[in-house]
A and B are shown apart, each in its own frame.
Chain A
Amino acid sequence: MFDYLPYIREWNFPHIWCSGCGDGIVLKALIRATDGLGIHRDEAVMVSGIGCSSRTPGYVDVNTLHTTHGRALAFATGVKHASPNLNVIVVTGDGDATAIGGNHYIHAARRNIDITVLLYNNYIYGMTGGQVSPTTRKGDRASTAPFGSIEPPFNISGLAKAAGASFVARGDVYNVKKLEKLIKLAIQKKGFSLLEILSPCPTAWGRRNKMGHPVQLMEWLRDSTVSMEKWEKMTDEEREGKIRTGVLHDVARPEFTDEYAKLVKRLKAEK
């Protein structure tokens, strides 16, 4: 039995998440992953914005920074640039990272700064009561889309890849072992690593869209997610309604703090 206690701030429990929420599953997978990598807690900084997912750092016994809405990546960039030896993990959500924080998202990816981003995609603004978010699917109902959303959703993994992230992956809260493995890979990767984690909100999204029971949402994840290996062998018809999970993109690109260190070295040599 894995002992979570040394990694959590027990006095902050019970957590704020609704019953049936997948965010606690991510929390546990994250703790197991960091334990497996032997990351020193004093050298880990978890930075978050505002929203349900952004409450994660408060429960983890590392250096934790709960910032303003959308700005976690900006704060994290300052931490990492100032102290490149620190292991910086950003925990954010679909609204936090790709709506109000969209600019920081694309530019942190462009810089390829060595930050690991765990982006919980719950398809909605959960904490504020279920408003439509950039990842709400077209036709889904939300408190501010009572007749169904008329907008297409963002492909947030694709966005990170296009902007320049060196590692992009997608996991979910049903395939927990796989999630743990993906978190490990994302942290290990030098450069900007984006891990999109499907953690659909039962309270604010599922309930309005005939998937209100957490078990139903788990079944949906089980049935609609497919591995990359499977995806490659599928026809376009078979891919309809399915979601790829696994490592979507993994390349070597120059990393920002390394490039800055190189610049410093070059200027010293020229002196």
Chain B
Amino acid sequence: MPVKISDKIRMMTGNEACAEGAIAAGCLFFGGYPITPSSEIAEYLSRRFPIIGGKFIQMEDEIGAMGSVIGAALTGMKAMTATSGPGFSLKQENIGYASMAEVPCVIIDVQRGGPSTGMPTLPAQMDVQQARWGTHGDRGVIALTASSAQETFEQTIHAFNLAERYMTPVVLLIDEITGHTTEKVTLPDYDSIERVDRKRPTEPPETYLPYKYTDDCIPTLAPFGTGYRYNVTGLCHNETGFPTNDPKEIERLILRLTEKIVKNRHEIINCKRTMLDDAEIAIFAYGSVARSARQAVLQLREEGIKAGLLEPTVLWPFPSEIVLKIAEQVDSFLVAEMNLGQMAREVELASKCKASIHRLNRVDGSPISPPQIVGKIKEVV
């Protein structure tokens, strides 16, 4: 459990910071299933929720956990689950359902190595493409990342806000290092936290259309039990929420599921920049690797090498325009990640051959260290 240092300062792990962030965001439902290295999130909330008016349930499996979260969210509650690679795989069908039915919810993935059971207690970043393409079908996706306990606290709140704003499941990808590292977290005044709540219908039930086409592409789903009786389905549906086979209606729906994210990408995308203004080589890193990269940039600068860091805190939608702009400025990119180049592919695509792309990959369950990044950059410069 977190250690209280002062009124606002705690020593806590990333997983504890995530659970506390969920409480700060107004989340009141957790449906989960035990899996390393994410279980502390469930444990924390199982202690807190019965005291603060929330609902906790440990479901019989990962799939059921995701289902329970969607059910709870439809009653108007902010709801979440937490898992790791194997569980994230199992949840994919229901995550797709949440995308299709446009049910806001948050999925925390504390990444470990894979495929399969892989490395339960060791870090990896091997789920970043699964977050994008894990479920079948085309849809827009929002996935965030965080590199510290403090950032995990903040990004968990942000994940709920984005879910409620865009009526979609939002994934927060951290990794075992961030999840299990104990460090300082400064808690804000909870009354001052900006919380987004989903739109509520203003029209009477007689004229209400849950999936009405609007300019912002975002539907208004009334919580169950509030007098707006409508249908929710994973089948292709029209504005009423009932299944349709009309090709025009189907196309409109599928395009909208992507467009509501793509059109609003400038509001969603966020990158941290470190010494990029005059950089000749840019490091692209996220999650716990970004921490090593920050250190590496400082050391390289001391040695006279003009390095900078681009650190996306939102992986999906991918910051293509930002990457291209930097690619036009620098000579090369180094994409450092704990997988075999899952985001390097995106950097390559986005940079349109304006800069050379180098990769630093690690898949042995060990973190990428600052000297490793420094060494790799000296090799390629």
Q: Please report A residues at the B interface, Cβ cutoff 8 Å.
A: 9, 12, 41-43, 45, 47, 57-58, 61-68, 71, 73-83, 85-86, 103-104, 106-107, 260, 263-264, 267-268, 271
Asked whether, in the complex, the Cβ of A42 is within 8 Å of the Cβ of B226, the reply is yes
Which residue from chain A places its CB closest to the CB of B71 in the assembled complex?
A78
Residues of chain B contacted by A47 (CB below 8 angstroms) = 71
Contact A74 B231 (CB under 8 A): no
Contact B55 A75 (CB under 8 A): no
Residue of A9, A42, A67, A74 most packed against chain B (CB within 10 A): A74
- Contact check, B242 vs A86: say whether CB atoms are below 8 A apart: no
Give CA–CA (A223, B68) in the complex, Å: 41
Q: What string of 1s and 0s marks CB contacts (under 8 Å) between B44-81 and chain A?
A: 00000011010101011101111111111111010100
| Complex interface: stretch among B144-152, B232-240, B353-361 | B232-240
Instruction: Please tell me if the beta carbons of A42 and B60 are within 8 angstroms of each other in the complex.
Output: no
Report yes or no: B231 in contact with A82, Cβ–Cβ below 8 A: no
Please report the C-alpha to C-alpha distance between residue A73 and residue B63 in the assembled complex, in whole angstroms. 11
Q: How many Å from the CB of A71 to the closest CB on chain B? A: 4
Query: Which of B59, B225, B227, B235 is in CB contact (< 8 Å) with A66?
Result: B235
What CA separation (Å) do A264 and B48 show in the bound complex? 11
Does B153 have its Cβ within 8 Å of any Cβ on chain A? no
B224 within 8 A of A: yes
Q: How far is the CA of A42 from the CA of B230 in the complex (A)?
A: 10
CB pair A71–B94 under 8 Å, yes or no, is yes
Indicate which residue in A43, A66, A267 contacts B231 across the interface (CB closer than 8 Å).
Answer: A66
Say yes or no: A76 contacts B61, CB within 8 Å: no
Partner among B60, B67, B69 whose Cβ is within 8 Å of the Cβ of A67: B67
- Contact of A42 with B225 at beta-carbon distance under 8 Å, contacts A67-B97, A78-B71 already known: yes
Assembly CA distance A47 to B75 (angstroms)? 13
Query: Is B234 a contact partner of A68 (Cβ separation < 8 A)?
Result: yes
In the assembled complex, 5 residue pairs joining A and B whose CB atoms fall closer than 8 Å, in A order, are A64-B229, A65-B224, A74-B63, A81-B68, A82-B79
> Do the beta carbons of A41 and B67 come within 8 Å of each other?
no
- Secondary structure at chain B's binding surface: helix, strand, loop or mixed? mixed
Q: Check if B229 sits within 8 Å of A63, measured CB to CB.
A: yes
User: What is the CA–CA distance of A132 and B123 in the complex, to the nearest angstrom?
Assistant: 43
B interface with A by C-beta (< 8 Å): 28-29, 31, 50-51, 53, 55, 57, 59-61, 63-75, 77, 79, 93-94, 97, 224-227, 229-235, 242-243
Residue in A63, A66, A81 whose beta carbon sits within 8 Å of that of B57 in the complex: A81
Q: In the bound complex, what is the Cα–Cα distance between A45 and B66 (angstroms)?
A: 19
Is A267 within 8 A of B50, CB to CB? yes
* Least Cβ–Cβ distance between A42 and chain B, in angstroms: 5
Cβ-neighbour of B232 out of A64, A73, A267 (below 8 A):
A64
How many A-B residue contacts, CB cutoff 8 Å?
129
A206 to chain B minimum Cβ distance, whole angstroms, is 27
Are the C-beta atoms of A86 and B75 separated by less than 8 Å?
Answer: yes
Q: B64: which A residues are within 8 A, CB to CB?
A: 71, 73-74, 77, 103-104, 107
Q: Are A74 and B71 in contact (CB under 8 A)?
A: yes
Distance in Å: Cβ of B237 to nearest Cβ of chain A: 9
Contact among B51, B63, B71, B77 for A65, CB-based, below 8 A: B71
Measured CB to CB, the closest approach of chain A to B205, in angstroms, equals 9
Please state if A104 and B60 are interface contacts (CB–CB under 8 Å): yes
How far apart are A133's CB and chain B's nearest CB, in angstroms? 20
Partner of B68, one of A64, A74, A260: A74
B77 and A82: CB pair below 8 A?
Answer: yes
Whether the Cβ atoms of A42 and B229 lie closer than 8 Å is: yes
A263 to B53, CA, bound (A): 11
Given the interface contacts A78-B68, A81-B68, does A64 sit within 8 Å of B225 by beta carbon? no
B242 to chain A, nearest CB (A): 6
Which residues of chain A have C-beta atoms less than 8 A from B230's C-beta? 63-64
**A65→B232 contact, CB < 8 A:** yes
Q: Is the CB of B71 within 8 A of A75?
A: yes
Q: Could you list 17 further interchain pairs (A-B, Cβ under 8 angstroms) beyond the known A67-B97, A75-B68, A75-B70?
A: A42-B225, A42-B227, A47-B71, A63-B224, A64-B229, A64-B231, A65-B71, A66-B231, A67-B234, A77-B67, A78-B72, A78-B74, A81-B55, A81-B68, A82-B55, A85-B225, A260-B50
Contact A58 B224 (CB under 8 A): no
Report chain A residues within 8 Å CB of B231.
57-58, 64-66
Closest partner residue, chain B, to A85 (CB atom): B225
Min CB distance A13 to B, Å, is 12
By a CB distance below 8 angstroms, the chain B residues around A263 are 50
User: Does B243 contact A79, Cβ atoms closer than 8 Å?
Assistant: no
Contacts of A106 in B (CB 8 A): 60
B66 CB contacts on chain A under 8 angstroms: 74
B residues less than 8 Å from A83 (CB atoms): 75, 224-225
> Once the chains are docked, how many angstroms separate the CA of A81 from the CA of B243?
28
Pair A68/B94 contact, Cβ less than 8 Å: yes
Report if A79-B71 is in contact (Cβ < 8 Å); known contacts: A57-B231, A66-B231.
yes
Please give me the 8 A-B residue pairs with the lowest Cβ-Cβ distance, nearest first.
Answer: A78-B71, A74-B67, A78-B68, A82-B72, A74-B64, A107-B60, A75-B71, A78-B72
Nearest-CB residue, chain A, relative to B70 = A75
Q: Separation in Å of the A10 CB from the closest CB of chain B?
A: 12
Q: Indicate if the CB atoms of A62 and B60 lie closer than 8 Å.
A: no
B98 to chain A minimum Cβ distance, whole angstroms, is: 10
Asked whether, in the complex, the Cβ of A78 is within 8 Å of the Cβ of B234, the reply is: no
Task: Check A260/B242 contact, CB under 8 A, given A43-B225, A75-B70, A78-B67.
Answer: no
A74 interface neighbour in B53, B59, B224, B226, Cβ under 8 Å: B59
Partner of B229 from the list A61, A74, A77 (CB cut-off 8 Å) is A61
- A82:B75 contact, CB within 8 angstroms: yes
Contact A264–B224 (Cβ < 8 Å)? no
Least CB separation from A48: chain B residue: B233
Chain B residues in 8 Å Cβ range of A71: 63-64, 67, 94
